[in-house]
Structure 1
Amino acid sequence: MRTIDPKLKALLEYGPLVVFFVAFLLLKEHTITLMGTDYSGVVGATLVFVPVLVLCTAAQWALTGTLSVMQMLTLVLVVVFGGLSIWLNDPRFFKMKPTIIYAIFAGLLALGLALGRNWLELVMNAALPLTHRGWRLLTIRLIWFFVALAALNEVLRRATDPGGFMGLVLSDQAWVNFKTFGILAATFLFFIANGPLFARHALPRDGD
């Protein structure tokens, strides 16, 4: 695995999300026409987002020689569900993507624990040495965190449908804000909140 400048890495990872947000802001009151089909709002922004994500992921693979499981799974789901939203001109498919991806992550981590294999520990232990109990506790918390994100996305995306969901009615802007900033902020707060766990269960690195 080759390393790249952290600023470039951040640009390749978060740039497509920023592009999606900006594209939505520009298109939510307008439409773009391609091959006789009018696209607006979330679908129009998805039309911009999908190729940008593909290009950025390809660039990261070319520069580093590797991609994480999360990156590959995200790319596949974005292409599939984003493609369905564009093909059918229906934003619901793209809005389902966070629900599905976080449900998959929760399911995989839970399956690993059930099989006695902590896959999170196997993948990340070299970068973040923790005790086995520490990894188990972090994995259990991550499972519930992913379940909560999947459930919250499902509520928010259904609330943007005509008629809302269980009395809750939201605009597409609310869902886009959640996808662009809400998930990132929640993830940041999750790891900040687990600082005491890292402190209690950290293992010394070589030379420390």
Structure 2
Amino acid sequence: MSTKQPAPGWLQPVTDYIPLALFLIAYLTTDILTATAVLIFATLLALVLSYSVARKIPVLALLAAGVVAVFGGLTLFFEDDLFIKIKPTIVQILFAVVLYGSYLFGRPVLKLVLGTAFPLKEEAWRPLTIRFSVFFLVMAAANEVIWRTQSTDFWVAFDTIGQIVITFIFMMTQVPFLLRHQLDENTETQDS
């Protein structure tokens, strides 16, 4: 009988942030088109790494990679950075829709993703899902405002560094909620 091993803790940060870091480095040393090609390649390599290590690819990572490939490919084909600039908007909206939609259909993705790290009371998943969905919609709106009103340099800084910092701050603001709604050990052992 085989037991499924969880993915190592380093895998998700590596597959999430290394493609962005390579995109930033390529942009700073070349141009937006080369950086886009690097992002596409690094994102596909991240999927391969995720599958080779964990023997699975998370659904949200697969969706994000698909959007990167499509919008990055359009950027390269048309030699127009518009497509790569709207990519974060599309990804953020997809995340919001998938998170909230999965909750409405009774299979909350957020619970599947965070449930083992943060075992919460059942009633906590709905407000947490709404918070994350709204956060992703706000980030989509911010991306739209920034790429339309700021320079490409500013947008690249926001897309790579800014979004990571804002996401980290958002996650830290959720810690009190997570602590208030975590399952206590007695509840966990009674449910087992």
Q: Give the TM-score band, short-chain normalised.
A: 0.7 to 0.9
Return 121-130 or 70-79, whichever deviates more: 121-130
Q: Does 1:124 align with 2:114?
A: yes
Find the aligned partners of 1:174 and 1:116 in 2 and give their Cα distance. Answer: 40
The answer to whether the Cα contact below 8 Å between 2:23 and 2:35 also exists between their aligned partners in 1 is: yes
Which structure 2 segments of 5+ residues have no match?
none
Q: How many Å apart are 1:186 and its aligned residue?
A: 1.2
SS of the residue 1:135 aligns to: helix
Q: Does 1:67 align with 2:67?
A: no
State the match for 1:180 in structure 2: 160
Match of 2:18 among 9, 15, 32: 15
Find the aligned partners of 2:32 and 2:5 in 1 and give their Cα distance. Answer: 35
The answer to whether the Cα contact below 8 Å between 1:19 and 1:49 also exists between their aligned partners in 2 is: yes
Q: Does 1:46 align with 2:36?
A: yes
State the match for 1:197 in structure 2: 177
The TM-score normalised by the length of structure 1 is: 0.80
Return 111-120 or 9-18, whichever deviates more: 111-120
Q: Does 1:85 align with 2:88?
A: no
Find the aligned partners of 1:3 and 1:122 in 2 and give their Cα distance. Answer: 13
Find the aligned partners of 2:69 and 2:12 in 1 and give their Cα distance. Answer: 21
Alignment of 1:133-144 (within 5 A): 133-144=123-134
Instruction: Describe the superposition over 1:27-70 as per-residue Cα deviations: whole angstroms up to 9, x where unpaired.
Output: 1xxxxxxxxxxxxx322210222112211221221111011111
Which structure 1 segments of 5+ residues have no match?
28-40, 160-169
Structure with more helix by fraction: 2
The answer to whether the Cα contact below 8 Å between 2:11 and 2:50 also exists between their aligned partners in 1 is: no
Return 61-70 or 116-125, whichever deviates more: 116-125
Q: How many Å apart are 1:203 and its aligned residue?
A: 0.7
SS of the residue 1:200 aligns to: helix
Instruction: Describe the superposition over 1:154-176 as per-residue Cα deviations: whole angstroms up to 9, x where unpaired.
Output: 111122xxxxxxxxxx2111101
Q: How many residues align?
A: 184
Structure number, greater radius of gyration: 1
Instruction: Describe the superposition over 1:188-208 as per-residue Cα deviations: whole angstroms up to 9, x where unpaired.
Output: 11111111111110013557x
Q: How many Å apart are 1:11 and its aligned residue?
A: 3.1
Structure 1: which amino acid aligns with 2:135? F
Find the aligned partners of 2:66 and 2:82 in 1 and give their Cα distance. Answer: 17
- Aligned sequence identity (%): 35
State the match for 2:142 in structure 1: 152
The TM-score normalised by the length of structure 2 is: 0.86
Q: How many Å apart are 1:2 and its aligned residue?
A: 4.5
- Alignment RMSD (CA, Å): 2.0
